Amino acid sequence: MESVMERSQTPNPSSAVPPIGQLLVVGEYIMPQDLEFALEHQKFCKNRIGEILVRMGALDRKDLDTVLRTQKYLISR
């Protein structure tokens, strides 16, 4: 099975902006295993990764908002 970091380092030709999960791990807001769990859970519930992480208690809402603002900034550059 491919690890989170391997998946998150796979180039995405449609965008140079990293996915939110990668930003959260690299920024040390969450642990890689938290992201793994959330990605597995997402297959069944279809919720957004950030929402899953907040609900499971791995991430504070304000930290999610901070990283989402960063991601939005990166997209707009």
Place of tokens 């930290």: 63
In this structure, are residues 20 and 67 in contact, taking their beta carbons and an 8 Å threshold?
yes
- How far apart are the C-alpha atoms of 77 and 62, rounded to whole Å? 23
pTM of the model: 0.78
- How far apart are the C-alpha atoms of 33 and 17, rounded to whole Å? 22
Segments making up each domain of the chain, as ranges: 18-71
- How far apart are the C-alpha atoms of 67 and 65, rounded to whole Å? 6
pLDDT, tens digit, for every residue of 33-46? 999 999 999 999 98
Using DSSP, state whether 34 is helix, strand or coil. helix
State the pLDDT at residue 14. Answer: 43
pLDDT, tens digit, for every residue of 7-65? 444 454 445 889 999 999 999 999 999 999 999 999 999 899 999 999 999 999 999 99
37 or 6, which is more confident: 37
